[in-house]
A and B are shown apart, each in its own frame.
Chain A
């Protein structure tokens, strides 16, 4: 019996070894769930967010950049403060705030970092850095937010914000993930694909406390992020800045275009907001405030506001009449105030005089000739045919439909068709006398300030335009901009017809907008007054300059500022001077505009 015992002991030893090896085989070889759990434990997939593309103005001056901001992170497990009072003072945080954020961090995780103080400025960060080592469990995490060296062009540039659930759903290529920032308006949205760059992925090893322990497999599986592409905008930073300076405290729009290219030099929507406030953690708060503001600072007036074009439309009427051979420079009509009201000027006038004096009865009579060409003996039918034919010609001027600027939200305005009046009055129940207000740019006509500026560019170009746009180059390469912005749009009016119109516009300044006159710089302009049923009329002015070699075409709307010759013309003139001469020689006029007291 006793002799068996060593054998039993040997069997016991072998048995122990066998049991251990079997169990090990089952968890190491048979069961791969441990491998996955190990990866979840120690391998962290970190998305390397690319640097969003910068935006420059046409002269290479920075408009939008990425500003690193610092969040003070806390790991509750390691955090330990002896002298709370000193901590509160050093980190400039109130006790309630500290407790609240610390509790939130603890609730989130005991061992993983969460933000304790968000959005620390560079200077505060520099100050804090020295104290950080005294406080275990605290460290700084860097992020970047969009920042603007000058708080301008907020509407054109747009803003970025966290991607919405709906956008995420529509993201068919699964580029985005929860919490990503995406362009929500302006250039940021239109050129999102260029600006965003390509995300990289890093596989990091972390220890039990989530502390970075270096790349996994020396970064074998990592992909580098590719920075977003930089945009060069057509905007002129100085001009935009000056335009916003002039428009402060007012409501309205300024759109300046380089006629020969369609490049938008300045686009001001007043009231505006400081784009620096619509970034980072301030976003939500600022957005709510702006959204509730009765002045609607988020509303992008140059492309969204629609007004009747008013007197300025008379130039379009003149050009269509000339091209169709219905009007000639020497065509005269009497200023018959029984047809439509007019101000006092010599009568009768020829076409030149009509433009110069903005004679309403002239266009009332001229438009009748353009519409009722006796194509049909039925005057109702004749008006219908005439209107639709005319409408087609007007729309070639970029009216009655979206131009296609590179910002989302553009409105197209309206040029009424026969169907519209059929709906209003019934088919065959309206004629010229019903629609005559169109002759002087009133009635159902609706135009955006951008379309008005584009009209000025057409007048300057003598018959063509490039779709107004805000992009000049992508990554410094002008050929990368969307092809549609390099297509020349003809308006179907021969260039020679513009000569007389341009002369009349230059002359018009001496009649209706003397404030706009600049010595040794010939401006061709036209005032307008958009009727406003809710209050004072809107002051409108379009112009281009210099007349013989146009460099800038501009449309200015100042709401509730009355007559076009005052607020709008003065503003436009200062903008032109600023752009062409680079300086302001008429401080008094600038003061007049800034004072904003246009109605007296």
Chain B
């Protein structure tokens, strides 16, 4: 195999590898803690419990890493569109051949060997976007190119929403971080952030009248500050009226959402709304993390996560176990690792010689950052409960493998960068 010649161990970014394994093993220890039962302690390696199964998955991940590292770096670029197409087809097929759990069809496979195509589709989409946008003439300020990129992005989102898996679908929009790097006009981001801020304010402020008064005041100030032309006055007035209309209509829009999503949003603003019902997850999650204190209760000493007060504690709420047993210092270490990893990935992406590798690198950054941010934010009540895992940490084969492959393809591309022709402009 030609690829094996490409392996240049010295060029591998070891910092990323070390952080990856640190996170994976801290996660594994926490998965054991989450299922640990002091009355019937089982070995961490016991295959009948989650931690034992997770260890096998970690082993498989290592095999995947080796396979990626020995493969030819061109392999991923050349096959990226095919991989994308294969996963689109799998996503189309999933509702028909997959297994339904709680009204969602997320996984396919046979017996206990199941994978969630939605997790891998992120990777495929990242490769496809990198491939599509690689062309030197590709310009995100041009409408045609914008539509091309959005098309690649929207197709899997649409299919995943059919499963339906809102959380995973949301992850795809994190690609706008990569689009930002690649020159998508800044004004859209300002508009987007403004839109989100207005939405949150409308939902968060009980009486929209105050918000409306605020908007009118801001618009008046903006009009008074600039040139007082008719056009500007009309424009700002229309924007202000639009914003007020929006703020009033969002309550109505939210009321049309499915009830569980509505509740998740409302609980964010008022966790005491229904502490035993919808607020339960967030309340219990905050209690678990909050009770950890500065140094935590000690490994395997957590009571909240261990005794099922926190639901989904080994998957989406795995951070609770860490927060409870290792306290703020533990949180600091893990968040520190994630932040270091992400910053390092930015540095690595910026040193790529090909646009493909850089775009792919930013895709990795976008996906990891989104997962990391949203997952932890929801456990501490900063964001509505969205069922997305904490990368490398959460229990589950598909997500671990998908994140591993996602990350290590980039590590591979980075380690091969000296062999690549500089195609960057």
Contact = CB atoms under 8 A, between A and B. Distances in A.
Interface string A272-294: 00000000000000000000000
Contacts of B286: 27, 34
Contact residues on A (Cβ < 8 Å of other chain), bracket: 35 or more
B119 to A, nearest CB: 22
Query: Which of B287, B304, B342 has the largest count of A CB atoms less than 10 A from its CB?
Result: B287
A5 B290 contact: no
Contacts of B306: 207, 213
B338 interface: yes
Contact of A28 (B180, B183, B327, B350): B327
A17 interface: yes
B290 to A, nearest CB: 3
Contacts of A16: 339, 369, 372-373
B128 interface: no
> Which bucket holds chain B's interface residue count?
35 or more
A217 to B, nearest CB: 8
A209 interface: yes
A238 to B, nearest CB: 50
A9 B177 contact: yes
A20 B378 CA distance: 10
Nearest to A217: B301
B290 A9 contact: no
Given A21-B335, A42-B304, A10 B346 contact: yes
Contacts of B180: 5, 8-9
Contacts of A6: 181, 346, 349-350
Contacts of A216: 303
Nearest to A14: B339
B346 A34 contact: no
Given A9-B181, A37-B291, A24 B369 contact: no
Chain B contact residues: helix, strand, loop or mixed: helix
A94 interface: no
A34 B291 CA distance: 5
A29 interface: yes
Given A41-B309, A42-B304, A213-B306, A24 B373 contact: no
A534 B323 CA distance: 83
B290 A28 contact: yes
A28 B292 contact: yes
A24 B323 CA distance: 9
Interface string A11-34: 011101101110111011101111
A43 interface: yes
A34 B183 CA distance: 45
A28 B294 contact: yes
Contact of A5 (B181, B324, B327, B380): B181
Interface in B275-331: 284, 286-294, 303-304, 306-309, 323-324, 327-328, 331
B303 A205 contact: yes
Nearest to A33: B290
A17 B339 contact: yes
A212 to B, nearest CB: 9
25 contacts: A6-B181, A6-B349, A9-B346, A9-B365, A13-B339, A14-B339, A17-B335, A17-B339, A20-B331, A20-B377, A20-B382, A24-B331, A24-B332, A28-B323, A29-B328, A32-B293, A33-B290, A34-B289, A38-B291, A39-B291, A205-B303, A206-B307, A207-B309, A213-B37, A214-B38
Given A12-B177, A24-B289, 9 more contacts: A2-B183, A6-B346, A17-B338, A20-B335, A29-B294, A31-B290, A42-B309, A43-B303, A205-B307
Interface of A: 2, 5-6, 8-10, 12-14, 16-17, 19-21, 23-25, 27-29, 31-35, 37-39, 41-43, 205-209, 213-214, 216
